[in-house]
Amino acid sequence: MISWQGCSYLRKSEYLAILPTDLTSFVEPLDESQKRMLAQNESRRKSIIDNYKQVFSLAQAAEQEKVDRSDKFKKQLSVTLDQLLSSVYISRNQNSAITKEEREAYYAAHQAAIESDFQFFAESSKRPISSGQKESFNTQWSEIKIRADKAREVGLEKDPIVLARLKFMRAEILAYLYSEGLREQFKPTQEEKNKYLAEHPESDPEKLRQKAQGLLDRIKSGEKFEKIADEFTDDPSGKGSGGELGWFGKGIMDPVFEQAAFALAKGQLTNELVKTNFGYHIIRVDDKRTTSPKSPVPAQGQQQVLEPKEEIRARHILVDTRKAESYEENLVQEKLKRAREETTLKYPVKAPDDFPVKVEGQGQEK
């Protein structure tokens, strides 16, 4: 006999329908003011329903693609459940505290597992993580795991509100992973990129770089910086002002822009284009000065030492590349939008028109 558990294709998906009781339980953890506002806002409740109808459709599609069997889904679900249980445990045991000794003992006993969880979060964030952030994670995650274990000990895993929230969270994870898989499929081909750039030459990053280089060459050939800045900068704040930026110190501008500008001498022009997240800059420093910031009254018994502050007055010409550099993402988003719409048609979800919100002291409201 083939086991029912082994034949996942015979099981009905739990995402075929959204029940009013599920929605009521899902919003139950909101604070009373949030629930009261939701109870009084029909359009917001309908927006929640519409959003989760699409999420449930994507979750069904993900199940068909066996995303729910993937290691990535299982790991994400595991850490999500720990976070949920810890949060619910705190809400119901607000005076409970984790001692330093308890936390350190837990970390020592589960170091490998916590390191694995840290690696998962670090990869998901796609950003470099400092040693200080890692130490903070170890502390916070140990506390979350301790509370999650305590929640399991008192049976919170089977609590109706926890089960309802977990159902929606599982759906969100499935929908996200399914969409990420589509994103990989929808990366523009070189043919698609060439076609788009032929139809939208203003979005060609290389042409924009060539445009900026042409402006720099003209200035080097003797044309007036201010005139070219007024004609060609894509920064509205520079229009009609010769690209004037005024006086500024360090820590104000884009770091790459700042490094290039402060490296220039008075009256000097950047010899090459400066590329930032905004686009290509041509920078000229008109003046430099060192100022002493006004000293606030120091607290009694304290002495405040202030460092001189370096400032520059500069102009720039900006050829903005932000729209050009996002055209590939825009192409992907267009395909994703169509795919989501097709998925909602292929995997329909039954849902109520509205749902009750429990408000303390007033029974159930809509």
In which residue are the tokens 């950047």 written? 270
Edge-first strand order for the sheet with 279-291 is 244-249, 309-320, 279-291, 274-275
Lowest mean pLDDT among 96-110, 136-150, 289-303, 325-339: 289-303
pLDDT at position 2 over 60: no
Residues 124 and 177: their CA atoms lie apart, in Å, by: 12
Residue 315: strand pairing partners: 244, 284
In which residue are the tokens 């308890």 written? 102
Residues 274 and 281: their CA atoms lie apart, in Å, by: 5
pLDDT at 305: 55
Q: What pTM does this model have?
A: 0.71
- Of 286, 26, 265, 297, nearest in space to 163 by CA: 26
> What SS3 class is residue 247?
strand
Render pLDDT for 175-207 as a digit per residue (tens, 0 to 9).
999 999 999 899 999 998 889 888 888 888 899
- Of 87, 106, 116, nearest in space to 146 by CA: 106
**Between 194 and 10, residue with greater pLDDT:** 194
133: confidence class by pLDDT, cuts 50, 70, 90: confident
Which domains occur in the chain, in start order?
13-185 (no CATH), 204-292+310-324 (3.10.50.40)
Q: How far is CA 181 from CA 5, 65, 246, 357, in A?
A: 26, 10, 47, 35
Whole-number average pLDDT of the chain? 88
pLDDT at position 41 over 60: yes
- How far is Cα of residue 268 from the mean position of the Cα atoms in its chain? 39
Residues 57 and 16: their CA atoms lie apart, in Å, by: 8
Residues 314 and 225: their CA atoms lie apart, in Å, by: 12
363: confidence class by pLDDT, cuts 50, 70, 90: low
Tokens of 74: 């299982």
Amino acid at position 20, single letter: P
Residue 364: strand pairing partners: 358
Residues 103 and 144: their CA atoms lie apart, in Å, by: 10
First to last CA, the chain: 49
Render pLDDT for 274-322 as a digit per residue (tens, 0 to 9).
999 999 999 999 999 998 766 555 555 555 556 778 999 999 999 999 8
1: confidence class by pLDDT, cuts 50, 70, 90: very low
Residues 317 and 215: their CA atoms lie apart, in Å, by: 9
Q: Could you say which DSSP state residue 290 is in?
A: E
DSSP string, 109-154: HSHHHHHHHHHHHHHHHTS---HHHHHHHHHHHHHHHHHHHHHHHT
pLDDT at position 270 over 50: yes
Residues 106 and 5: their CA atoms lie apart, in Å, by: 35
Q: How far is CA 139 from CA 80, 103, 109, 114, 308, in A?
A: 17, 7, 13, 10, 39
Lowest mean pLDDT among 82-96, 283-297, 338-352: 283-297
Q: Name the helix (H) or strand (E) containing 233.
A: none
